[in-house]
Homo-oligomer: A and B are copies of this chain.
Amino acid sequence: MAMVRPRITEYIKIASKRCNGRHFSSSSALRSNASATLPIARLLDHGPKNSSNVAVNGYVRSVRNQKRRSFVAIGDGSTLESLQALLSPEQAQSLSTGTAVRLTGEWKESPNPQAQSHELHVSKVDVLGVSDAAKYPMQKKYQSLEYLRTMPHLRTRIPFNTTLLRLRSDCISEITSFLSQEGFTQTHTPIITSSDCEGAGEVFHVASPHKGPVSETDDGTFFRSTKYLTVSSQLHLEALAQSVGNTWTLSPTFRAEKSDTKRHLSEFYMLELEMSFVEELSSVMDVVEKLVQRVTKPLLSSRVGKEILSSRALDGHDDPDAITSETIRHRWERILADRWPRITYTEAINMLTESTADFEHKPEWGAGLSIEHEQYIANTLDSPVFVTHYPSSIKPFYMLASTKDSSPGETVDCFDLLLPNAGELVGGSMREHRLESLISSMQSHGMLPSGPVESLTDDQLGALKWYIDLRRWGSVPHGGFGLGFDRLLGYLAGVPNIREINTFPRWVGRCEC
Contacts and interface: CB of A to CB of B under 8 A. Distances in A.
Q: How many copies of the chain does the oligomer comprise?
A: 2
A23 B404 contact: yes
Interface string A455-471: 00000000000110111
A503 B240 contact: yes
**Most chain B C-beta atoms within 10 Å of own C-beta, residue among A60, A135, A203, A205:** A205
A267 to B, nearest CB: 5
Contacts of A344: 23
Contacts of A183: 33, 39, 78
Given A29-B278, A186-B168, A224-B509, A240 B156 contact: yes
Interface residues of A, number: 161
A513 B236 contact: yes
Contact of A341 (B15, B182, B239, B502): B15
Contact of A267 (B7, B154, B190, B267): B190
A443 B94 CA distance: 30
B206 A206 contact: yes
A182 B351 CA distance: 50
A169 B192 contact: no
A12 to B, nearest CB: 6
Interface stretch (A115-123, A316-324, A380-388, A444-452): A380-388
Interface stretch (A63-71, A81-89, A104-112, A472-480): A472-480
Contact of A165 (B223, B244, B385, B470): B244
B474 A129 contact: yes
B156 A239 contact: yes
Count chain B CB atoms within 10 A of each CB in A14, A76, A207, A511 and give the residue with the most. A511
Contact of A342 (B19, B135, B151, B287): B19
Contacts of A7: 351, 354
B154 A8 contact: no
B187 A354 contact: no
A259 interface: no
5 contacts: A15-B343, A28-B290, A99-B474, A153-B466, A205-B206
Given A4-B354, A23-B404, 13 more contacts: A8-B355, A15-B343, A23-B389, A25-B282, A27-B283, A29-B284, A77-B245, A129-B476, A156-B243, A190-B503, A191-B254, A204-B222, A222-B266
